[in-house]
């Protein structure tokens, strides 16, 4: 069992790199953003809570998203490991993830922090917005998402740094150049 937290600002390439990790290592990809968008499409209770918050670039409350994540983990009892994408986004969520995994006698193996500068993030997200159909890929919401990331999510880096699990990945360059750094980080930690 090897679990990866893939971390970074909106537009840093977490989803794209997660697909490559799935392909090479066979881990189960859990994206809380994807799960919430599916809940919205279903019109579930969680979807109703998430809908307005997502389009404003704000977070779903910690207790709601922690329950969503725990359920998603429990749906995959046979997993060789997980990639947590878009979670944890607050220190409270990072603590909750540790305790959820501890109950199962497993842990986070590495936290990959994909680092991309702000101008590049905005450019990528505006470009994605042309085709993504996402309610949050517009300039005003993109700026709010980046602000919220800096205020609430960046402290999560320290959390994993203290545990010796934080690895900075240079997120500019080709997909393969970024993935090569990810492979090196995983391969040096996986047993
Ligand atoms: P993403 O697809 O990861 O960019 O997530 C899209 C949106 O879903 C975020 O801007 C938040 O509104 C919400 N969301 C996803 N994951 C979380 C989380 N871990 N905590 C709070 N809100 C989240």
Judged on CB neighbours under 10 Å (0-12, 13-18, 19+), 57 is buried
pTM listed for this prediction? 0.97
Q: What percent of the chain has pLDDT over 70?
A: 100
Residue 105's pLDDT band (cuts 50, 70, 90) = very high
Rounded to the nearest angstrom, the gap between the alpha carbon of residue 76 and the centroid of all alpha carbons in its chain is 18
Lowest mean pLDDT among 34-38, 51-55, 187-191: 187-191
Which atom of ligand 1 is the closest one to the Cα of 32?
16
The answer to whether the CB of 53 is under 6 A from ligand 1 is yes
Distance (angstroms) between ligand 1 centre and the Cα of 70 equals: 15
The answer to whether the CB of 10 is under 6 A from ligand 1 is yes
**Pairing mode, if any, of strands 166-170 and 108-115?**
parallel
Mutate to test the pocket of ligand 1, among 14, 15, 60, 151 (most ligand atoms within 8 A of CB): 60
pLDDT tens for 145-179 read 999 999 999 999 999 999 999 999 999 999 999 99
Domains, in order of start, for the chain? 3-180 (3.40.50.300)
The residues, ordered by sequence, that sit 6+ positions from 116 with a Cβ below 8 Å of its Cβ are 8, 9, 11, 12, 13, 124, 171, 172
Which atom of ligand 1 is the closest one to the Cα of 31?
3
Which atom of ligand 1 is the closest one to the Cα of 58?
12
């Amino acid at each position: 069992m090897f679990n990866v937290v893939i971390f970074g600002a909106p537009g840093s390439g977490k989803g794209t790199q997660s697909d490559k990790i799935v392909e090479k290592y066979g881990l189960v990809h859990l994206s809380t953003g994807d799960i919430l968008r599916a809940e919205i499409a279903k019109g579930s209770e969680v979807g109703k809570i998430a809908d307005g918050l997502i389009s404003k670039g704000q977070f779903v409350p910690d207790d709601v998203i922690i329950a969503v994540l725990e359920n998603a983990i429990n749906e995959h009892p046979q997993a060789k490991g997980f990639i947590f994408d878009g979670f944890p986004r607050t220190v409270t969520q990072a603590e909750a993830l540790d305790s959820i995994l501890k109950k199962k006698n497993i842990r986070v193996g590495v936290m990959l922090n994909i680092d991309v500068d702000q101008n590049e993030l905005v450019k990528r997200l505006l470009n994605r917005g042309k085709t993504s159909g996402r309610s949050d890929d517009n300039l005003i919401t993109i700026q709010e998402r980046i602000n919220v990331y800096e205020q609430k999510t960046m402290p999560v880096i320290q959390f994993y740094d203290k545990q010796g699990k934080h690895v900075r990945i240079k997120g500019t360059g080709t997909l393969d150049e970024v993935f090569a750094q990810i492979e090196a980080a995983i391969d040096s930690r996986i047993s």
